[in-house]
Amino acid sequence: MNTSTAPVGINRQNISAGSLPEILQNPFTVAQQQLDEAAAYMKLPASAHEMLRWPLRELHIMIPVRMDDGNTKIFQGFRVQYNDARGPCKGGIRYHPAETIDTVRALAAWMTWKTALVDLPLGGGKGGVVCDPKNLSQGELERLSRAYIRQAGSFLGPEKDVPAPDLYTSAQVMAWMADEYSFMQGNNEFGVITGKPLALGGSAGRNDATARGGIFCIREAAAVLGIGLERATAAIQGYGNAGSHAHRLAEELLGMKVVAVSDSTGCIYNPDGLFHRDVAAHKKKTGSVTGFPCAVPITNENLISLDVAVLIPAALEGVIHKENAHSVRALMIAELANGPLTPEADSILREKGCYVIPDLLCNAGGVTVSYFEMVQNAYGYYWDEDEVHLKLEKKMITAFRNVHEASLHHKVHNRRAAYIVAIERVAEAMKLRGWV
Q: Can you give the CATH number for the domain in which 247 is found?
A: 3.40.50.720
Same domain? 117 vs 148: yes
What are the beta bridge partners of residue 129? 77, 95
- Give CA–CA dist 103/63, Å, rounded: 19
Residue ending a domain, choose from 153, 175, 199: 199
Domain with 237 in it: 209-362
Contact partners, residue 206, CB within 8 Å, separation at least 6: 194, 195, 366, 369, 370, 373, 388
In tens, the pLDDT along 276-302 reads 999 999 999 999 999 999 999 999 999
Q: Is there a catalytic annotation at residue 126?
A: yes
Q: Kindly indicate the confidence band of residue 316, based on its pLDDT and cuts at 50, 70 and 90.
A: confident
The answer as to whether 412 is a domain residue is: no
In tens, the pLDDT along 349-378 reads 999 999 999 999 999 999 999 999 999 999
The answer as to whether 30 is a domain residue is: no
Q: Kindly indicate the confidence band of residue 24, based on its pLDDT and cuts at 50, 70 and 90.
A: low
Reduced to 3 states (helix: H, G, I; strand: E, B; else coil), residue 56 is coil
pLDDT at 289: 95
Average the pLDDT over 88-103 and give the result: 96
The answer as to whether 154 is a domain residue is: yes
Q: Kindly indicate the confidence band of residue 16, based on its pLDDT and cuts at 50, 70 and 90.
A: very low
Residue ending a domain, choose from 362, 387, 402: 362
For the cut 50, the answer to whether the pLDDT of residue 30 exceeds it is yes
Same domain? 329 vs 217: yes
Same domain? 152 vs 220: no
Instruction: Kindly report the average pLDDT of the chain as a whole number.
Output: 93
The active-site residue, picked from 73, 90, 114, 126, is 126
pLDDT at 318: 85
In tens, the pLDDT along 195-244 reads 999 999 999 999 999 999 999 999 999 999 999 999 999 999 999 889 99
The answer as to whether 194 is a domain residue is: yes
Counted residue by residue, the chain has a size of 436
Nearest 5 degrees, angle CA 395-CA 216-CA 383?
50
For the cut 60, the answer to whether the pLDDT of residue 6 exceeds it is no
pLDDT at 362: 98
Same domain? 82 vs 172: yes
Q: Kindly indicate the confidence band of residue 338, based on its pLDDT and cuts at 50, 70 and 90.
A: confident
The answer as to whether 62 is a domain residue is: yes
Same domain? 91 vs 110: yes
The answer as to whether 378 is a domain residue is: no
* Domain CATH number, residue 177: 3.40.50.10860
Same domain? 193 vs 124: yes
The Cα-based distances of 105 to 80, 126, 326, 329, 380 in angstroms read 6, 7, 29, 32, 33
The answer as to whether 27 is a domain residue is: no
Same domain? 102 vs 186: yes
pLDDT at 167: 86
The answer as to whether 367 is a domain residue is: no
Same domain? 90 vs 155: yes
Q: Which residues of 90-127 are buried (b: 16+ CB within 10 A; e: fewer)?
A: bbbbbbbeebbbbbbbbbbbbbbbbbbbbbbebbbbbb
For the cut 70, the answer to whether the pLDDT of residue 117 exceeds it is yes
pLDDT at 21: 40
- Give CA–CA dist 20/370, Å, rounded: 35
Q: Looking at the 3D structure of the chain, how many domains does it have? A: 2
Number of DSSP helices (H) and strands (E) in the chain, helices first: 14, 13
Amino acid at 127: G
The Cα-based distances of 411 to 68, 311, 403, 415, 420 in angstroms read 58, 24, 11, 12, 12
For the cut 60, the answer to whether the pLDDT of residue 324 exceeds it is yes
Residue ending a domain, choose from 334, 362, 390: 362
Instruction: Give yes or no for a contact between 86 and 123, defined as CB atoms under 8 angstroms apart.
Output: yes
Same domain? 169 vs 93: yes
